[in-house]
Amino acid sequence: MNLKDWYFCSQEDDTISLHDCVMNRLEWDKGGLWLIFEDGFDVTKDNSLNPTGRHRLTGKAAVFLKNGSYLEGAWNRNCTMQNPGDSEPIPLQEISIQREQLAELSPEVLDFTWEPEKRHLSITAIDDVGYCEINFSCESLWFCWNELLEDSWFQELSKE
């Protein structure tokens, strides 16, 4: 896969929403790491490549981490459970996510944080195991798509 395979490539991370989007797979190549979203992600109306004036869901899309690498991840990070009658929440045991396990994951993204000065991308998500956090390092971050198919789920919620 290559950035040239996409009509639109944006680095405007504050205009992209991955919330409720499923990261179907990861693909490593010589230039970096691809996070593939078969059902797309949301591009807000503020993105310079979105001419519609509306928040839109893309078709198949990807996030490219230039010179990207997996740092670490874990299920149940900072999670607690509270049973009825317990006075204090019980911390859940954190379970490391090994690099080999990434290929098996298809998490639904809750949020992401991109810190370009630290070259750090953090994704919080949920999958069939539970809540997880996945951390990557990369030189730059690119959001790629070919089409804006329909209004985003939050279009009517954000009337301005």
Task: Give the model's confidence band at 1: pLDDT under 50 very low, under 70 low, under 90 confident, else very high.
Answer: confident
Radius of gyration of the chain (CA): 17
The encoded tokens of residue 90 equal 């019980």
91 compared with 8, residue with greater pLDDT: 8
Percentage with pLDDT > 90 across the chain: 78
Please give the distance of CA 29 from its chain centroid, rounded to a whole number: 19
Structure confidence by residue, pLDDT tens digits, 45-95: 999 999 999 999 999 999 999 999 999 999 998 888 888 888 888 889 999
Residue 4 phi, psi (nearest 5):
-70, -15
Structure confidence by residue, pLDDT tens digits, 17-27: 999 999 999 99
CB 115 within 8 A of CB 123: no
CB 137 within 8 A of CB 116: no
Residue 7 pLDDT more than 60? yes
CB 97 within 8 A of CB 86: no
Which amino acid is present at 6? Answer: W
Can you tell me whether residue 102 is helix, strand or coil? helix
Q: What is the mean pLDDT of residues 103-128?
A: 95
Alpha-carbon distance 137 to 118, whole Å?
A: 8
Question: Tokens 């990557």, residue?
Answer: 136
